[in-house]
């Protein structure tokens, strides 16, 4: 790091005395900010199992977005050189994922990767706005190329480079896109990723993505600030059990403003069910799992379109882009999100009328070597070092891991009881529309809507049905509990702070005379509910045909039982026959035990 101490091992004047393996070739990973570091982490596996190579890292210190870099590099566990030392130490190869910083000062051969979907954005430099990574302003130093290898993923980028900076064109190497290759390799895991994000059968995942900058979807530099209404409306207008909404924000938003500030800005949406995906951990998995993406002019939006996902553009500042770039072409092709129209109608229309081949021509411009970037990049790196590739098997990239729901950035997400899918993080009141039927087996149809503190009771589309309000006991507004028909708690059944579920329910019903039913969610597919004047009942959903647990929020079962009892249905009948609970297009078979 720029302000860190100089290393003595494995480099430095005394390194030969102290290093155990002192004859290694040196590969320096040059980090500009967290965003560029993520692309370097993509290619890190290409040096594994080679005892001839010592990996090092440094940070140029030139980016305004330095927060998070130290922690990320510490997590990787490589020796980190302060920039002043990195400039002095001879290395065999320096790999950067940005042209930011004085790369020309390094003592070694330099390879530069892009840290997004090619080079598309303009960056203001004085009164000019050159395309970052394509203009002599960034690529040349004293008239000569900064890098010995400028890695591009597609010939269209090479054509633009030749037109804008012919002096650097000779350094261009077509070597694919390792980030996109990892996504392509993980596509067969889509169903697993969807379950990891808590998506049950029939649910749709809407991903809201923003790059950084004042004219991005998350920015406030445009004529309007669409985000002020977009996220609250998404969580209020979309039925909870038919849609899930996830936000993927650029690392420069996350670390530029601070993770705590981002969480605070999105607090209401998170309490209403928004999943806030950490920008380093699972954004690619979220794209694979998504049914639709609302985005802007960032690379993530383009990757989603390339995967064949429906895309709606919530912001798209065309002046910030190279008009010849594929991302600019996406802006001319993709539909816009209209902020003053119903969101559900637009989202359903985008998904229902989408042709997966719509963006096929653009998808072909992501990479000219799909699935081959690992081999091409490893060959390039070793050629630059003048070293034969190690005989350690084919070059491979790390597979995308199965995301841990408990590690999502949006809240407790598993910290409270047995709730790994973030149901306990939903602390906003929920308005429930229920229709109970006694024709045949007891059957209750439910539609649930999150209510933010400022949302009217009747926000969103409605249908004739009995309505009630379910409120988590952990709501930050305890006044809502006085009017709750159903009060919820998510915790382990043996949590000594709360007592057994039946004891907790008796306490809640005694404290809140308006409440008709208290429900204690103990894990996926199960809860314990106590209706006023009724015996405690354990509700357990039947697993699916493959034996997997039901991923519906178990609070749904509690609301169904309340609706059944409120409509005169006897508890004994529900216990004897079980409950059929319908949410959207999914039917949940729930067993009741007194």
pLDDT tens, 366-383?
999 999 999 999 999 999
The rounded distance, in Å, linking the Cα atoms of 543 and 247 is 29
Task: Give the phi and the psi of residue 166 in degrees, each rounded to 5.
Answer: -60, -25
pLDDT on residue 461: 44
Q: Residues 274, 410: contact at Cβ < 8 Å? A: yes
pLDDT on residue 406: 45
Give the pLDDT band (50/70/90) at residue 130: confident
Tell me the average pLDDT across 404-428: 61
Instruction: Name 448's Cβ contacts closer than 8 Å, sequence gap at least 6.
Output: 239, 240, 241, 430, 431, 432, 433, 470, 556, 559, 583
List the single range of 180-189, 261-270, 461-470, 515-524 with lowest mean pLDDT: 461-470
Q: Residues 204, 290: contact at Cβ < 8 Å? A: no
Query: What six digits make up the tokens of 346?
Result: 């637009």
Which is nearest to 225 in space by CA: 301, 339, 304?
Answer: 339
pLDDT on residue 420: 65
Instruction: Name 482's Cβ contacts closer than 8 Å, sequence gap at least 6.
Output: 512, 514
Q: Residues 143, 168: contact at Cβ < 8 Å? A: no
The rounded distance, in Å, linking the Cα atoms of 508 and 558 is 15
Whether pTM > 0.85 for this model: the answer is: yes
Query: What six digits make up the tokens of 191?
Result: 């169903």
Q: Residues 208, 303: contact at Cβ < 8 Å? A: no
- Kindly give the pairing relationship between strand 149-152 and strand 25-31: unpaired
Task: Give the phi and the psi of residue 177 in degrees, each rounded to 5.
Answer: -130, 105
Which strands, in side-by-side order, build the sheet including 93-96? 80-81, 53-59, 25-31, 93-96, 110-112, 149-152, 172-174
Q: Which residues pair with 431 in a beta bridge?
A: 449, 469
Give the pLDDT band (50/70/90) at residue 199: very high
Asked if pLDDT for residue 464 goes beyond 70, the answer is no
Q: Tens digits of per-residue pLDDT, 286-309?
A: 999 999 999 999 999 999 999 999
- The total of other beta-carbon atoms located within 10 Å of residue 549's CB is 16
The rounded distance, in Å, linking the Cα atoms of 541 and 580 is 10
Instruction: Name 453's Cβ contacts closer than 8 Å, sequence gap at least 6.
Output: 268, 428, 477
Instruction: Name 292's Cβ contacts closer than 8 Å, sequence gap at least 6.
Output: 204, 205, 206, 207, 309, 310, 311, 312, 347, 350, 351
The rounded distance, in Å, linking the Cα atoms of 480 and 80 is 52
- Kindly give the pairing relationship between strand 80-81 and strand 149-152: unpaired
Tell me the average pLDDT across 48-62: 95
- Kindly give the pairing relationship between strand 579-583 and strand 275-277: unpaired
Query: What six digits make up the tokens of 59?
Result: 């940070």
Asked if pLDDT for residue 2 goes beyond 70, the answer is no
Core vs surface per residue 376-402: b (16+ CB within 10 A) or e? bbbebbbbbbeeeebeeeebebeebee
Q: Residues 60, 31: contact at Cβ < 8 Å? A: yes
């Amino acid at each position: 790091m720029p302000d860190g101490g100089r290393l003595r091992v494995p480099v430095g004047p005394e390194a030969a005395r102290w290093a155990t393996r002192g004859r290694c070739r040196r590969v320096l990973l040059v980090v500009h900010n967290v965003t560029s570091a993520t692309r370097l982490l993509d290619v890190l596996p290409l040096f594994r199992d080679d005892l001839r190579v010592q990996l090092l890292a440094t940070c140029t210190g030139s980016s305004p977005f330095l927060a998070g870099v130290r922690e990320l590099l510490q997590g990787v566990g490589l020796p980190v050189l302060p920039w002043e030392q990195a400039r002095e130490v001879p290395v065999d190869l320096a790999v950067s994922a940005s042209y930011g910083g004085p790369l020309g000062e390094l003592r070694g051969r330099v390879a530069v990767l892009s840290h997004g979907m090619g080079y598309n954005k303009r960056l203001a430099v004085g009164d000019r706005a050159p395309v970052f990574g394509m203009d002599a302003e960034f690529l040349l130093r004293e008239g000569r190329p900064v890098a010995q290898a400028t890695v591009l993923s597609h010939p269209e980028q090479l054509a633009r480079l030749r037109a804008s900076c012919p002096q650097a064109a000779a350094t261009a190497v077509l070597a694919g896109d390792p980030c996109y290759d990892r996504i392509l390799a993980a596509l067969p895991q889509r169903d697993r990723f969807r379950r990891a994000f808590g998506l049950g059968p029939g649910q749709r995942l809407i991903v809201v993505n923003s790059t950084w900058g004042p004219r991005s979807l998350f920015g406030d530099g445009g004529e309007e600030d669409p985000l002020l209404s977009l996220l609250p409306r998404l969580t209020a207008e979309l039925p909870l059990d038919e849609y899930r909404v996830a936000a993927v924000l650029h690392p420069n938003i996350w670390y530029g403003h601070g993770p705590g500030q981002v969480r605070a800005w999105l607090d209401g949406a998170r309490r209403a069910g928004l999943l806030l995906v950490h920008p380093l951990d699972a954004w690619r998995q979220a794209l694979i799992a998504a049914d639709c993406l609302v985005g802007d002019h960032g690379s993530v939006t383009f990757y989603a379109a390339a995967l064949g996902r429906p895309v709606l553009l919530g912001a798209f500042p065309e002046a910030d882009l190279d008009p010849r770039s594929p991302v600019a072409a996406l802006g001319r092709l993709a539909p816009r999100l209209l902020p003053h129209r119903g969101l559900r109608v637009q989202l359903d229309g985008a998904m229902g009328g989408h042709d997966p081949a719509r963006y096929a021509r653009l998808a072909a411009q992501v990479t000219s070597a799909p699935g081959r970037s690992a081999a091409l990049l490893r060959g390039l790196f070793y050629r630059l070092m003048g070293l034969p590739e190690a005989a350690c098997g084919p070059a491979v990239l790390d597979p995308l891991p199965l995301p841990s729901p408990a590690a999502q950035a949006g809240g407790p997400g598993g910290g409270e009881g047995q709730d790994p899918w973030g149901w306990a993080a939903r602390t906003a009141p929920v308005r429930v529309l229920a229709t109970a039927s006694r024709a045949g087996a007891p059957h209750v149809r439910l539609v649930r809507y999150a209510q933010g503190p400022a949302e009217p009771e009747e926000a969103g589309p409605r249908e004739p049905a009995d309505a009630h309000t379910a409120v988590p006991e952990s709501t930050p507004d305890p006044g809502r509990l006085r009017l709750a028909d159903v009060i919820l708690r998510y915790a382990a059944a043996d949590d000594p702070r709360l007592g057994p579920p039946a004891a907790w329910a008796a306490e809640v019903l005694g404290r809140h005379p308006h409440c008709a039913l208290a429900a204690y969610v103990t894990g996926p597919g199960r809860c314990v509910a106590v209706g006023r004047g009724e015996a405690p009942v354990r509700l357990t959903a039947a697993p699916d045909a493959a034996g997997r647990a039901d991923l519906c929020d178990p609070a749904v079962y509690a609301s169904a039982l309340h609706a059944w009892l409120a409509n005169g249905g006897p508890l004994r009948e529900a216990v004897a026959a079980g409950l059929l609970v319908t949410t959207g297009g999914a039917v949940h078979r729930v067993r009741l035990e007194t």
